[in-house]
Structure 1
Amino acid sequence: MAHATVDDVLGALENVDFPADKTRLLDAARSAGASGDVIAALRGIPPETYTNREDIARSVRTDPDSDLGHSPAQRAEQARQGGRPGQSQHLREVPKPPVEEELDR
């Protein structure tokens, strides 16, 4: 996981015109002189078209403590609810398949 905050990522994308795809976001961040951590965080987002900055904030994987100033209760609620399909999977509790449980014994 990258050590960039959501604010760092969004700050590097201030001059992006939306909608924008992942490639365009990466190019804009590089042009803005973004740090390696910001570039790494953007590389981890799904390859789709983003319509606004909030879509990016929901998609980028950053340290949980950098979560746009949300309280712990708000972060927990967000983790329970999940995000768009295929996103925020690292926050969800997923039971191990029976084969993995057997191998762990």
Structure 2
Amino acid sequence: MADSITPEQVLDYLADVDYPADKDALLSAAERSGAPDEVLRSLRAMPPVEYRSRAEVVRSVRVDPTPGRPSGLAAEQARTDAPPRVAEHMRTPREG
């Protein structure tokens, strides 16, 4: 994504949604609220299931866990080996 978004930003555009709601209802609500392309792309990438709450939407929507992280750092973190269950954005890159 060119501009990183956070889960809170996505939820801002879904304020008028009544749950449960399917993916199409979420997309329609975001479009009515004037959501930017980044938010709409994230919603379109979600699985097509019925979401029972805002918390389920947050767990399913794809966002950058660390907005503003330089792309070089993100690439290095992706290549870095880490113990199991260490998220990519929390890995310490190798030095040198």
Whether the TM-score (by the shorter chain) exceeds 0.5 is yes
Matches within 5 A, 1:33-48: 33-48=34-49
CA contact (8 A) 1:4 1:41 kept: no
Residue aligned with 1:8, SS: helix
Are 1:6 and 2:7 matched, yes or no?
yes
CA contact (8 A) 1:9 1:38 kept: yes
Are 1:63 and 2:64 matched, yes or no?
yes
CA contact (8 A) 1:26 1:43 kept: yes
Tell me the residue number matched to 1:22. 23
CA contact (8 A) 1:18 1:50 kept: yes
TM-score by length of 2: 0.66
What residue ranges of structure 2 are gaps of 5+ in the alignment?
68-83, 89-96
Superposed CA RMSD in Å reads: 2.3
Aligned residues: 71
Runs of 4+ in 1 over 2 A off after TM superposition: none
Tell me the residue number matched to 1:52. 53
What residue ranges of structure 1 are gaps of 5+ in the alignment?
67-78, 81-90, 92-105
TM-score by length of 1: 0.61
Q: Deviations over 1:62-96 (max 9, x none)?
A: 00115xxxxxxxxxxxx93xxxxxxxxxx6xxxxx
